[in-house]
Amino acid sequence: MRPTLTWTPAGEPLPRTTSLDEVTEVVAAGGVLVLSGAGLSTESGIPDYRGSTGSLRRHTPMTYQEFATSEDGRRRYWARSHLGWRTIARAQPNSGHRAVAQMRARGYLDGVLTQNVDGLHQAAGTPGVVELHGSLDRVVCLGCRRTSSREELDQRLRAANPAFSAEATQVNPDGDVELPAEAVHGFTLVDCADCAGGVLKPDVVFFGENVPADRVRQCYQLVDQASALLVLGSSLTVMSGLRFVRYAAKAGKPVLIVNQGVTRGDPHAAVRVDLPLGQALTELAGRLA
């Protein structure tokens, strides 16, 4: 089955507001679980997939099937990601990340699930973040399953490609960048350092790949324990995040969505706020203070 890359809403858009009054009331009661998406990191310079300038408008992301079965696909991915990862690694938390960390520290939030792979929640000081789609800071071998740091792989790739000097242009949410074919063609891959011929992959969930079952169970448990679900900056196009919205709504827990633009979870939302995330979360944290 092909991965869900886009989604077209049916019918008239559901009502949205720019008021944070209802969100403030729910969050002030505590016990809220956050589910964050790429829209939260755009103000840190990391583009999203589906916003008005989202990366899906100009490229198709790597799928697990292509990465696992095609050496050319892996070469293209690693050459481009070798440059793009450095941009992601240099990104700094923005006011939205910091506001989430403040609300977590003050006890209003019980936890944070993120669909992002950039580590910016943790960099802002939020503890115990569940990375639904993994992290670009780690690499996993598809053979022996050993994990290692992305910094270690970066050093090995630099050594294997001393003359590689292509310049990144557009950076995508997964660290991929746009490069001409000739820059990719001569890029040398490296295998796992622990097992012969082991294929290395970023420890992230690619399109067309399943989120690990134990991680999914952990997320459901967090939704069970929460009093409400606060969605931040996600279109909820893919089922990996949407299922928790549906689950919370079915359990009678308020679903609050703060996002610019329509989301696939809007029919399940008690409140739907359309505001920039940095502005909205800074205001929300200020009200709660």
Pairing of strands 32-36, 147-149: unpaired
Strand partners, 114: 36, 131
- 228 contacts 256 by C-beta, under 8 angstroms: yes
What pLDDT score was predicted for residue 43? Answer: 94
Q: In the sheet that 147-149 helps form, which strands lie side by side, from edge to edge?
A: 147-149, 134-141, 200-204
Q: Which of 82, 97, 133, 268 is catalytic?
A: 133
Q: What is the pLDDT of residues 56-111, one digit of tens each?
A: 444 567 899 999 999 999 999 999 999 888 888 889 999 999 999 999 999 999 99
**Predicted confidence (pLDDT) at residue 4 exceeds the cutoff of 80:** no
Which residue would you say has higher pLDDT here, 45 or 200? 200
Residue 273 bridge partners (DSSP): 17, 258
Question: What is the separation, in whole angstroms, between the first and last Cα of the chain?
Answer: 47
Residues of the chain with CATH 3.40.50.1220: 17-46+93-133+209-289
Question: What is the rounded distance in angstroms from the CA atom of residue 255 to the CA atom of residue 131?
Answer: 20
82 in catalytic set:
no
| Cα gap 140→16, rounded to integer Å | 41
List, as residue ranges, the binding site for Zn(2+). 141, 144, 192, 195
β-pair partners for 141: 200
Distance CA 197, CA 202 (A): 16
The answer to whether 234 and 35 have CB atoms below 8 angstroms apart is yes
Residue type, 41: S
- Amino acid 171: pLDDT: 74
The answer to whether 233 and 206 have CB atoms below 8 angstroms apart is no
Phi/psi for 241 (5° steps) reads -100, -40
Tell me 25's DSSP state. Answer: H
What does the pLDDT read at residue 58?
46
Across 9-18, 43-52, 216-225, least confident range:
43-52
As to burial, measured by CB atoms within 10 angstroms (0-12 exposed, 13-18 middle, 19+ buried), residue 267 is middle
Q: Give the residue numbers of the binding site.
A: 37-57, 115-118, 141, 144, 192, 195, 233-235, 259-261, 277
Give the predicted TM-score (pTM) of the model.
0.90
Q: Is the pLDDT of residue 194 over 50?
A: yes
Tokens of 17: 């507001």
What tens digit of pLDDT does each residue of 117-168 get?
Answer: 999 999 999 999 999 999 999 999 999 999 999 999 999 999 999 998 776 6
Which CATH number is 17-46+93-133+209-289's, of 3.30.70.1560, 3.40.50.1220, 3.40.50.2300, 3.30.360.10?
3.40.50.1220
What is the per-residue pLDDT across 208-246, written as a single tens digit (0 to 9) for each? 899 999 999 999 999 999 999 999 999 999 999 999 999
Q: What pLDDT, on the 0 to 100 scale, is given for residue 186?
A: 86
Q: What is the model's pLDDT at position 49?
A: 58
